Amino acid sequence: MATTTASLQNFIDGEYVDPVEGQTEPVLNPATGEVIAHAPLSTAADVDRAVTAARNAFDGWATTTPGERAGMLLKLADAIEEHGEELAALESDNAGKPIEAFRNDEIPFMVDNLRFFAGAARCLEGRATGEYLGGYTSMTRREPVGVIGQIAPWNYPLMMAVWKIGPALGAGNTVVLKPAETTPLTTLKLAEYAGEIFPKGVLNVITGHGDPTGQALVTHEQVDMVSLTGSVETGKWIARSAADTLKRVHLELGGKAPVVVFDDVDMSTALETIAATGYYNAGQDCTAATRVLAASGIHDELVSGLAEQARGLVIGDTFSEDTTLGPLNSSRQRERVEGFLERRPTHAELVTGGAEPDGMPGFYL
């Protein structure tokens, strides 16, 4: 657990740098509510600095061979694996994740993902597209898009960063990545590892809010494509803004994952599966089981069983191997969830939970 307050910097052109205007904001540990770091409040000037670095690095990076790019992605995967404990401690501190879940579930998964992206980098094949004029052969050729502006969410900070930079770098693009303002620690640490592997300017990380940092990144004329994992409303705004400069967009937006349970279900399997997908990461997941539709014959048994599963979750120190339920990401997120409970229909019964645990600091619910 962190005992000192870190002063974070943006990672631009292969080095850590202070924000142009020098402004920072506190970063909190959601399990305690304590300040654990101060992160840059980047402005349009910082975005321009990062985009310029990415643009200057693009020509050289785009002409590397797929094998060279794959080799560097494999080295980054090895670095994450080697420094797994350090990353787990940072993610637990900054995102409130139970350390055991991050260590055993997310680290191996993202390492495997990066190795997959490395392999995919060597399979960027074109194809013949037919004879459109006598004596000529047409074919497609896959080339890098250019500078990619990426905006990652707070629920899986490091994993989402890996999912964004891996395919982009593997295809020969350069990147400016903005992590969520509440969870920048592991992404900035990832940049440190990447800085020892990739050429300067290929990967840049800046911190800040959607306005002005994200807005400046999306509207920058030298950014060729924007990738967002975030809300539907933010995705709509990005799509509209990107149209002004004809940017490509890649949007992974909010989702729901309904579960339909029939009378002939294996109840123990259903309870285990729904609880795992609904309660993991404190339910902060776009694929969480947020709506369960149950046949009338098994409805009461299912509700009772899911309530029992919830009561069995262990709330506590995120660094304890026994803890299975961490806090929500921020006070704002907890207020949002409390609002859902307050606005529930009059016929809806709260079977268990729904209150802040007694004597627990931070943003638990």
Give one word for 69, left, alpha or beta, with left for phi > 0 and alpha for psi -120 to 50: alpha
- 69 three-state secondary structure: helix
Any idea what DSSP says for residue 283?
A: G
Q: Count Cβ neighbours within 10 Å for each residue of 273-312 and write b for 16 or more, e otherwise.
A: ebbebbbbbbbbbbebbbebebeeebeeebeebbeebeee
Catalytic residue among 81, 286, 301, 338: 286
Placement of tokens 């969410």 in the chain = 153
| CA–CA separation, 55 and 201 (whole Å) | 8
- Residue 15 among the catalytic residues: no
SS (H, E, C) 212-280: HHHHHHHHCCCCCEEEEECCHHHHHHHHHHHHCCCCEEEEECCCCCEEEECCCCCHHHHHHHHHHHHHH
For 308, 312, 313, 336, the CA distances from 352, given in Å and listed in that order, are 9, 11, 12, 18
Query: Could you tell me whether strands 15-17 and 10-12 are parallel, antiparallel, or unpaired per DSSP bridges?
Result: antiparallel
For 236, 278, 338, 346, the CA distances from 341, given in Å and listed in that order, are 27, 16, 5, 11
- Residue 252 among the catalytic residues: yes
| CA–CA separation, 14 and 17 (whole Å) | 9
Phi, psi (5° rounding) for residue 77?
Answer: -60, -45
| CA–CA separation, 130 and 240 (whole Å) | 35
Catalytic residue among 252, 308, 349, 356: 252
The catalytic residue positions are 252, 286
